[in-house]
Chains A and B, each alone.
Chain A
Amino acid sequence: MAVSWLHRLAGLTPVPVFPALGMGGDVVLRRLAQATNIELVGSPRHASVLLVAGGVQPDLLEALRRVHDQLPWPSSSLWFRCEPLPELEDATRIDDIEALPGALAAIHRELLLQRRGSSPRLLPDNPPNPWEGLGDDGHGGEGMMGGVPYGRPMAMNMHDDIRDGLTLDSLTFRIGPFFPAFPPGMSAEVTVQGDLVQSWTTQSLPHLVALDPVFHDARQRSVPIARLELARVRYHLHRLFHGLRLAGWESAALHVLHLAMRLTSDSRADALRRRLERYGFFYLAALDGGVLEVEQARRVGGPASRAAGLDDDLRSEDANYQRLGFSPVFHNAGDTRARWQQILAEIEQSLQLAKQAAREDLHTQNSVAIETPRGPWSDERCPTDASRLLDEIIPGLEWDSALATIASLDIAALSDWPLVEDKPLTRSEERSS
């Protein structure tokens, strides 16, 4: 079929990309969010290119095949720092993050101009359960509700409602590990009644989270406090970026990202706080739930524990932090709102510390135990995976509160390897290193 002018026009539009994130793949989100010719979409149904970013464990490949087959025709895939599936012979692999937007745009254009064939379907085209054609209406079973229409049984009210006694049909499904609102790699078996989460079982753990190399250095030797604090701010800003994207606030998320990109010890977060308050971020009804008990908060550690009223922070044991007058900020409510307020307060505090430390050229004293943005880190205690905690706190929440709670909790375990992010050194880093 000849290429129509419609295809040509479509080739000029932003590329709809669905990112399937593997290990260390979340760097691409931050790079692609700034590219004007890329549109990151939330479902493969809206995408024309599947971007697999970072290594995918062998046990998640089946789920990846399912996501791959949900892209509408014509579609293609690009593999960033990841070996393509053996079935995809002409799939492209790319390792340079700067070339990523260009490569995605090229694939999209070739796909629409029909210079590149659509990716083959990986799964057999079979119904999940064969059509039986039984029953009064051919719905595949006996009676009104007993059938398996279109291959699956009907939802039935199997559980009592835990909200207000109005029992509805419960839906059970497994979601993840490529669900964009979850931490990459995490999957869970969920039962919902209406929009209320009835039960939650974490099935696969989120991928390990990598920290800036400066935190690994700080465990070995003395490092400039300004550098350490700026890396902490950057980590928190990246988490805030994901939270704001989940709330649908793309422009505020980009603001956060730009702040993280151009971070120096003179940066200030006033404009960010004003913007979040003016937009009403802290008044969102979805931020109501997700209260952590003190014991649960201790298991997560870091800002989540301080948002629940604990004032544990290893920085207060460091002599030079004491010289800067450091005392941990904390909130008492322990819910999702308190956790975001805590993150914002810690961003402001760390910027203040970085400014003072840069002026006085202070270095860390204590390298036995350091406070990472993910929590305390020493030989005895390392931030471990806390995703099983979700099994306790998510049931009883509505779906939007559940997603907001998951976004506000940093539950992945710490990786042994530092973060590899291709970014130019900021001015203050050059000065301090």
Chain B
Amino acid sequence: MELLTLFIILLFALGAGWLVQWLPQRHSSMPTYPQRAPFLGGGSPDTHAWNRYHVRYYPMTLLLIAFEMEMMFMYPWAVVYVEEGLKAVMEMGMFLAILSVGIVYAWREGVFKWQ
């Protein structure tokens, strides 16, 4: 019964959404082909605009995710640190040192240069 109620609510919601979109547009036809062409100040394109495009900040994004994951390791480590003390600090220090080598390498490769 509850499932049926939810289903009806869903139907109403979808119907209302469709109605809101359809009502204002019911009299207008599709835009013409010249209107749909990309705006180039009166110029015209040679090719379709769907092209492979390189997101230049991509390596920087990957690096950010990698170091966010590293931060995730530090939460459980904080618990272990309370029990183990200095030993845990040393271990985390080693882990961070290895990761920093990665940063230095990325720096040398020019990953941090914004372009």
Contact = CB atoms under 8 A, between A and B. Distances in A.
Interface of A: 1, 20, 43-45, 60, 62-64, 66-67, 69-73, 121, 123, 125-128, 148-157, 163, 166, 168-169, 171-180, 182, 187, 194, 398
B46 A152 contact: yes
Contact of A194 (B31, B42, B54): B54
Contact of B48 (A66, A155, A177, A179): A155
Contacts of B42: 20, 60, 62-64, 66-67, 176-179, 187
B30 to A, nearest CB: 9
Contact of B43 (A126, A157, A176): A176
Contacts of A180: 41
A123 B32 contact: yes
6 contacts: A20-B42, A60-B42, A63-B43, A125-B32, A125-B33, A174-B43
In terms of DSSP, what is the predominant structure of the interface of chain A?
loop
B39 to A, nearest CB: 5
A409 B51 CA distance: 31
Interface string B28-57: 100111110111111111111111111010
Interface residues of B, number: 27
A352 to B, nearest CB: 39
B27 interface: yes
B54 to A, nearest CB: 5
Contact of B46 (A60, A66, A73, A172): A172
Contacts, number: 119
Given A1-B27, A73-B28, A150-B48, A177 B34 contact: no
A178 B53 CA distance: 26
A125 B40 CA distance: 18
Nearest to B27: A1
B41 A155 contact: no
Contacts of B43: 63, 173-176, 179, 187
Contacts of A64: 42
A156 B52 CA distance: 9
B37 A66 contact: yes
Q: Of B38, B43, B48, B54, which is in contact with the most chain A CB atoms at under 10 Å from its CB?
A: B43
Contacts of B35: 69-72, 121
A125 B34 contact: yes
Contact of B39 (A43, A152, A168): A43
Contacts of A60: 42
B40 A171 contact: no
Contacts of A398: 115
Contacts of B56: 194
A117 to B, nearest CB: 14
Given A45-B39, A173-B40, A174-B40, A66 B34 contact: yes
Contact of B53 (A148, A150, A194): A194
A350 B95 CA distance: 63
Contact of A182 (B41, B48, B50): B41
